[in-house]
């Protein structure tokens, strides 16, 4: 089904992204187009058949921990496919607040921030309290204890009192990266 759908999309579009993809799916999609690329960390496949395009700066993807990497990389991959230069900061969660604060000057340079976090999910609110840029919060299903497969961080993010925070669904790196690209282009 994925190959059939991808084939149809490529008849009308020069870009394609498949999320939650395996190596097996990639081997089949690669047969459709030589420019198919597998982003292993994001578990995503992209095809971009356009001529070279300029990429606009302004998107930052931040993850609280390394276990949030797949969702963060998914956000990065879609934003890049949508012609954004994306800077990433990985493993800068509030459990070690100094890691975040050490990067504050860099963080403030960006027009929009995607903040990916599981566990307590407080990273987006902390970021929104430190910067003027909008923060797109992405709760992840990664975590232990009472995170309830992402519901804990989702509720924390939805209840944030920091202005400028919007929230996408659990593990929705695609939605966050897409929204970040749209904001970055306005």
pTM of the predicted structure, to 2 decimals: 0.95
Pairwise CA distance, residues 177 & 79, whole Å? 5
Q: What is the mean pLDDT of residues 46-70?
A: 94
**In the prediction, which pLDDT does 102 show?**
95
pLDDT of residue 46: 97
Question: Residue-wise over 8-44: b if at least 16 C-beta within 10 A, else e?
Answer: ebbeeeeebbbbebeeebbeebeebeeebebbeebbb
How confident is the model over 81-119, as pLDDT tens digits? 999 999 999 999 998 899 999 999 999 999 999 999 998
List pLDDT tens digits, range 40-56: 999 999 999 998 889 99
Bridge partner list, 87: 60
């Amino acid at each position: 089904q994925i190959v059939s759908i991808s084939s149809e999309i490529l008849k009308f579009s020069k870009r394609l992204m498949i999320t939650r993809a395996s190596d097996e799916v990639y081997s089949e999609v690669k047969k459709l187009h030589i420019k198919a690329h597998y982003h292993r960390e994001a578990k995503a496949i992209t095809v971009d058949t356009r001529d070279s395009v300029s990429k606009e700066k302004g998107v930052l993807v931040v993850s609280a921990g390394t276990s949030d990497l797949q969702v963060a990389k998914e956000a990065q991959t879609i934003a890049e496919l949508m012609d954004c230069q994306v800077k990433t900061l990985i493993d800068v969660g509030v459990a070690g607040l100094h890691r975040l604060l050490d990067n504050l000057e860099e963080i403030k340079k960006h027009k929009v921030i995607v903040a990916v976090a599981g566990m307590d999910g407080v990273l987006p609110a902390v970021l929104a309290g430190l910067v003027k840029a909008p923060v797109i919060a992405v709760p992840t299903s990664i975590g232990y204890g009472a995170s309830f497969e992402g519901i804990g961080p989702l509720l924390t993010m939805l209840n944030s009192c920091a202005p400028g925070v919007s929230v996408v669904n659990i593990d929705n790196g695609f939605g966050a990266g897409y929204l970040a690209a749209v904001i970055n282009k306005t």
